[in-house]
Structure 1
Amino acid sequence: MSLAGLILSPAILLVSLGSVQVAGGSVVGIGIEDFLFSFSFFGIAAVIYQAILGKHMKPWKGKKSIFIHPVAHWFLHLIIVLAVWIILSLSFVILLSLSSPHAFAMGGLLIGTYVIAHRHDLFFNAIISGVMVMILLFVLEQIFFFRLSGGEAAVTETILSSVSTEELVWSWVVGFAIGPLYEYLRHQKLV
């Protein structure tokens, strides 16, 4: 799912730029590091999930007839689903006046719910993927907070409060939606 992270990273970063502040002003600019972080973040979460649970891929309900290369077919479907997610998020921002992170989370929740409604076997995958992404984000933010704060004293006082619950919920929703997407779009299941 690193590919999903790479595709979603511009939208994720633009959504998060509105709420991120640095000591002297707002963050301006998206660098290659941001794309690499998003790419690796989603890929690492998927690998951790499969490694911890010892799962492997198996075709789900036989093969479908595909008229183009299977990778191109999967990539096209992934682009369509992620475009729907982004369009839903923008619609929530424009029509319901939600903040960008809330709109992005609502779009992801709808995509994840659709996938689970269509494939009930992916429910556990979605829940665990959401938890894994949330834990990964929490740990990464704690590591960066520790490295940037300059000492253990600062970390022990704010280890739980340095990550907002809104970010944790947002990361859970992203994991909830993206976790089962690979199996859903490839018509495979984890066994």
Structure 2
Amino acid sequence: MGDSVFVAAHTSAGKTVVAEYAVALARRHMTRCIYTSPIKALSNQKFRDFRQTFDAETVGILTGDVQVNPEASCLILTTEILRSMLYKGADLIRDVEFVVFDEVHYINDSERGVVWEEVIIMLPAHVTIILLSATVPNTKEFADWVGRTKRKDIYVISTPKRPVPLEHFLYANKEIHKIVDAKGEFLSQGWKDAIE
């Protein structure tokens, strides 16, 4: 049984690589990996991305609208679909080795957070949990809750800063003006040029 992990890392820090590794391991072990996302648009995007990374036979998607390759070793679906499968006792859950929760900070959503909680609680003990987010403020407390709930260790991996710095630009007068540099410093000249 693998170790569960919570990767709390900035955008572009490599969270997707962790998910891809789980997909590759599931394929190698002839088990399954379920990749959940909070919205259908993200599910569709991950489906396209993963089909470029892996072969078409490896990746499938189940949403309310689309069902492609449901026998695949990697299934991409919304968290609501996974909850429905758990409630129904779907047979495929027996073969699941990994569940990846992308954008797990949605657990804080006042309307939909309960879905994420229920899924985490209902997952069978043999499933390795992979939590991914860039914006969970209470990373350690959340990992502790999941660990107590599932009676397993959840290892936390986080990044102290963005690997790819943000720069801010303003489009004005048919030109692009940098107004905040990679160090987060406001560039008054860029601002002046933009508003003239």
Which of these two proteins has the greater Rg computed from alpha carbons?
2
Q: Give the strand-richer structure, 1 or 2.
A: 2
TM-score (norm 2): 0.23
Q: Give the helix-richer structure, 1 or 2.
A: 1
TM-score (norm 1): 0.23
